[in-house]
Amino acid sequence: MRGLSEQAADVVIVGSGVAGLAAAVAAARGGRRVAIVTKAALASGSSPLAQGGLAAAVGADDAPSLHAADTERVGRGLCDHDVVRLVTESAPAEVARLLEAGARLDRDDMGELALGREGGHGRARIVHAGGDRTGAELVRALIEAARREPRIEVREGVFAAELLVGGDGGVGGVTVLEEHGPRPFYAGAVVLATGGAGQLYSRTTNPPEATGDGIAMAARAGALLADLEMVQFHPTALALAPKGSPLALLTEALRGAGATLVDRDGRRFLVGVHPDAELAPRDVVARELWRRAAGGESSFLDMRELTRAPGGLRARFPAAALACAGAGLDPAIELVPVTPAAHYFVGGVWTDAWGRTSLPGLYACGEVAATGAHGANRLASNSLLEALVFGRRVAESLALSALPARPVELDRAAREVAARIGARGPMRMDDAVADPLRDAGSQREPNARLRASRARLQDAMWRGAGVARTEEGLVEVLDELEALESLGLLVGATRSRAGRSSCELRNLIEVGRLVAAAALLRRESRGCHHRADHPEARPELSQRTRYRAAELLAEARRQADSARQRAVAVG
């Protein structure tokens, strides 16, 4: 693995989470020259934060068909059967590959892989590492594997801003933001592995990198998107954190190990709500906590019993123990306040079973992709698995395709993109909105204004496109995001130079509008998409949605207009 020396590679992979790293290692082993471009450190994104583990039917009492059945049950009729079969059947082999790569997975007293159980799973099948530090260990092992591959080059701290699309609609590279300005980075194929978009919401477990960049880039390039209304909210994030900061996740495995959800008097409240109580599917648990919060009732995780096990909480759940300590809580004697938080982006860039998007030369894997593996909801611990399986599938597909030589017209596309995002000199965050803005009356410094706009977007999304949605709330979100877009803070809307933060804000606004639009159009409740004004699932809507951004927004605009007209008529 070397530092990037030239602006060309067979394949450029955007993102270095589990999906990007898995794709890079497999593609390099298949003979491709790979460049990884990642906007933060190599170990970044949600992957290093993953706690509970990776689902795989490796137990003596388990089988991929049982894993598939659980996945489809939670996916509420929207899973792609073939993809689910593919992913669940590949899982044991992925675990074997991780072991070969040197991943130190936890073992029981007999030396067998230790298997946890999480909500929605009918068997104990969660393979984990370091207790609840699975993601960090997987990323460590994959980075080590990548370091052994001379065909992989890495650029850390480099932001991919725009896809380069040739006249034939094929993707032949990305424009990246470098210290000295935007630069084309040409490649025979581009793999989006940019992760999710939890930063759309004021309460999220996702890291700051999760700004939906890959979805926004693909949307602007005209790629098909799918299932964007399906945003999974984790029911139990630690409720104590400064507003807008990522919330610490209190993994479901804690509940699998016996922690209970209780009111402030220590009474369990899920027992009468679902037969599986604390181990009910995430959407059921998240909705109950949301409903309680709307009624002014707090919810708590009771881990007191767990802390009495040998070694205490720290031995089995070090991340949870650390999070509680960081918040000044002692779970041995106190109830820990919890809240739902945006956690996983089920929808994204549509791909087929080989990770190919609708645009030639563009692939996607991991959380940015919508493969159909999760349907209307993700079964716990299926996402690391899907990221590994599809990272490898993309590489296999790349090994079989003839990568095109760079078409001449890409240079024109690159020049246009550079002109659009501003090519004048070094790009720093401070430059992003240095020019006079339309609302020139404001004296606030530009960075603060970007942050304020991001917070405004996150609040609007939490209120109107969060755990429970209504037509009225979603129309308000669409109006609010349109207003934010028109403020002129964004790249291309001012004459100023582009910076990463303004690009991210633009991406968040675009993806937020798409999520709200998709949620407006699905007039039913299914999986993690809950419409309080349409609380039942409608059998005639039991199919996935697939659209281009422009079509989706146009349809949502029509529906929003008719909703406004109805409201006026009633008023």
Ligand X SMILES: Cc1cc2nc3c(=O)[nH]c(=O)nc-3n(C[C@H](O)[C@H](O)[C@H](O)COP(=O)(O)OP(=O)(O)OC[C@H]3O[C@@H](n4cnc5c(N)ncnc54)[C@H](O)[C@@H]3O)c2cc1C
Segment lying near ligand X (by CB under 6 A), choices 24-32, 322-330, 363-371, 441-449: 363-371
Q: Which of 383, 453, 501, 502 lies at the binding interface for ligand X (CB under 6 A)?
A: 383
Provide the token pair at 286. 């998240």
Return phi, psi of residue 362, to 5°: -115, 125
Mark residue 513 as left, alpha or beta (left: phi above 0; alpha: psi -120 to 50; beta: remaining).
Answer: alpha
Residue placing its CB nearer to ligand X in the complex, 78 or 163: 163
If phi > 0 it is left, if psi is from -120 to 50 it is alpha, else beta; for residue 22 that is alpha
105 Cβ contact list (under 8 Å, min separation 6): 95, 98, 99, 113, 114, 127, 128, 129, 137
User: One symbol per residue from 157 to 186: x for binding ligand X (CB under 6 A), - otherwise; what is it?
Assistant: --xx--------------------------
| Single residue of 10, 11, 20, 28 touching ligand X by CB under 6 A | 20
User: What residues numbered 53-82 form the site for ligand X, per CB under 6 A?
Assistant: 53-54
CB-based contact 36:173 (threshold 8 Å): no
Q: What x-and-dash track marks residues 392-431 binding ligand X by CB under 6 A?
A: ----------------------------------------
Choose between 156 and 555: whose C-beta lies nearer to ligand X: 156
Reading the block at residue 246, the tokens are: 């990522």
Q: Residues touching ligand X: how many (CB under 6 A)? A: 43
CA distance 296 to 284: 19
- CA proximity to 90, closest of 397, 401, 393: 393
101 versus 541: smaller Cβ distance to ligand X: 101
> What one-character DSSP code corresponds to residue 148?
T
Nearest approach in angstroms of CB 193 to ligand X is 5
The residue (of 248 and 306) whose beta carbon lies closer to ligand X is: 248
Catalytic residue among 282, 392, 500, 506: 282
Are 386 and 52 in contact by the 8 Å Cβ rule? The answer is no
Cβ pair 314, 321 in contact under 8 A? yes
- Choose one: 69-77, 90-98, 380-388, 526-534; the region binding ligand X (CB under 6 A): 380-388
**For ligand X, the closer CB: 344 or 547:** 344
Phi then psi dihedrals of residue 172, to 5 deg: -130, 25
- Rounded CA-CA distance 205/248 in Å is 6
The single residue among 175, 232, 260, 381 that binds ligand X, judged by CB under 6 A, is 381
Q: DSSP letters of 535-552?
A: -S--GGG-S--EE-HHHH
Closer Cβ to ligand X, 269 or 390, answer by number: 390
**Is residue 511 close enough to count as binding ligand X by CB under 6 A?**
no
Residue 199 interacts with ligand X (CB under 6 A): yes or no: no
Least distance CB 417 / ligand X (angstroms): 14
List the one residue from 1, 9, 12, 52 that touches ligand X (CB under 6 A). 52
Q: Tally DSSP H helices, then E strands, for the chain.
A: 16, 19
Which pair of structure tokens corresponds to residue 7?
């602006």
Q: CA 403, CA 399: separation in Å to the nearest integer?
A: 9
Q: Does 44 bind ligand X (CB under 6 A)?
A: yes
The question of whether 203 is a catalytic residue gets the answer no
Q: Which stretch binds ligand X (CB under 6 A): 16-24, 82-90, 223-231, 426-434?
A: 16-24
What residue ranges bind ligand X (CB under 6 A)?
Answer: 14-20, 37-40, 44-47, 49-54, 134-135, 159-160, 193-195, 205-206, 209-210, 213, 249, 344, 366-368, 381-384, 387
Catalytic site residues?
A: 282
